[in-house]
Amino acid sequence: MPTYFAPKPTHLQGDMTRAVLVRVFFPPIIFWDLTKAIVRNVYGMSFGQKIMLSQSENFSEASIPENNNLLNIIFDRSFVITHDNAKLDTLTISAKNAVNPKNRQLHIINFVGIGMSYHDIFQDMKEDCLALKCTVIGFNYRGIHTSSGKLYSKDDLIVDGIAQVQRLLDDEVIDQNIILAGHSLGGAIATLVTKHFHDRGYKIKLFNSRSLSSLADFFASYKMNPYPSNWLERVKNSYIRFMVHFKFNITNWQIDAAEAFKSIPESYKEYIVVRSPKELRFREKNCHIDDPVIFHEVSLHAALKALRKQKKLEIREKCNNPEELADKLAEFKKRKFHTEFYASNGHSLPLKALICNYDNKTTALNFFHMFARRSQDLHQENADNTSLCVNKNYKAH
């Protein structure tokens, strides 16, 4: 089975310089660093097992067909070895009738959510491959199903994602032809990986599906009262949130996906959320009509509310044509999707089962494919001229 050995990711020189200067002028931070390192080594792995439920899942029934020559696709299994010796089981599905050579094709890397492996999305990967005539990749994080290695912190998950992108860049795939498609927690991890490469000048793209704004807030939301009725309940909620954030920060498991998402340029990212039309929403204790896993209050969509308001205000100030204004404002609604039946779990359903609130003929899968085609067309010319040469010089970032 083919094996790729990924180099160790490096830090930006500016970040390293700032970190050193801060600790020189404020030495107590060094004590905090040591405390975090000790807690991470002692408790990080057990803490991670509570987060990454798929480490304890039984995947005995999960399998990929042995025939690697199905219909119009070819799929290959390989291993990606990270710098710290984690072994990532990786599946690559390619279209036989692809028009462009492999390094100029669209490549989609899937980041699965909690309790999942790439085996769970095998059918979805095939559909994307055939519809877009592209290369689709799925992989399992370290310690999950057929991958080996230990998870001590969120950094390990990010390293796994970086290694998958690095493999494509070393294979001279154009950076702007790489899309990271993440679901749930996988969306948060994909967001941080995308930011990592954008900070280094590599314009990969991101599609974030039904994800969270902050991992600590996500877990705190299950312990907090969603609708506090008095000051005592509000104080209790604040205390719970503080303690959960402290635990996640000291174990290095906190993921701030919202801030990372905001830093990525608009044309390189897209997201969707399960959000029922206003007339169907209702507010009752312990009842979340939208996403029953990631509650709306801690979703990425909710964290971007202020940014959306600002953009809408700018559009209204610049646009005088009523029809054009309506069309531009409608773009914000196209990210909201709902399920056909109330009892359905909109968080776990495949993209093709989610219906757009603005246009009931559009599914979330249509929306994702439109983003993939649009982004590929938008950046193709620049990619042809610059990225092929630049990627050859990309090493260990």
Residue 1 pLDDT exceeds 70: no
Per the rule left: phi > 0, alpha: psi between -120 and 50, beta: everything else, 78 is beta
Residue 63 pLDDT exceeds 90: no
pTM reported for the whole predicted model: 0.89
3-state secondary structure of 354: strand
Per the rule left: phi > 0, alpha: psi between -120 and 50, beta: everything else, 175 is alpha
| Predicted local distance difference test score (pLDDT) of residue 287 | 47
Q: What mean pLDDT is predicted for residues 308-314?
A: 91
H or E element that contains 338: strand 336-339
Q: What mean pLDDT is predicted for residues 335-356?
A: 85
Residues facing residue 214 across a β-bridge: 256
Cα atoms found within 13 Å of the Cα of residue 76, Cβ hemisphere only: 10
Burial 306-344 (b: 16+ CB within 10 A, else e): eeeeebeeeeeeeeeeeeeeeebeeeeebbbbbbeeeee
Distance in angstroms between the alpha carbons of the first and the last residue of the chain: 26
Cβ partners under 8 Å of residue 116, min gap 6: 54, 183, 186
Residue 383 pLDDT exceeds 50: no
Q: How far apart are CA 358 and CA 103, in angstroms?
A: 36
Higher pLDDT, 280 or 207: 207
H or E element that contains 273: strand 269-274
Q: How far apart are CA 171 and CA 181, in angstroms?
A: 20
Domains assigned to the chain: 3-391 (3.40.50.1820)
H or E element that contains 190: helix 185-198
| Predicted local distance difference test score (pLDDT) of residue 256 | 96
Higher pLDDT, 167 or 325: 167
Q: How far apart are CA 195 and CA 191, in angstroms?
A: 6
Q: How far apart are CA 285 and CA 282, in angstroms?
A: 10
| Predicted local distance difference test score (pLDDT) of residue 257 | 96
| Predicted local distance difference test score (pLDDT) of residue 367 | 96
| Predicted local distance difference test score (pLDDT) of residue 390 | 47
| Predicted local distance difference test score (pLDDT) of residue 286 | 40
Residues facing residue 363 across a β-bridge: 355
Q: How far apart are CA 335 and CA 167, in angstroms?
A: 31
- Residue 29, token pair as written in the block: 């931070």
Q: Residue 54: which pLDDT band, with cuts at 50, 70 and 90?
A: low
Contact 285, 227 (CB under 8 A): yes
| Predicted local distance difference test score (pLDDT) of residue 320 | 84
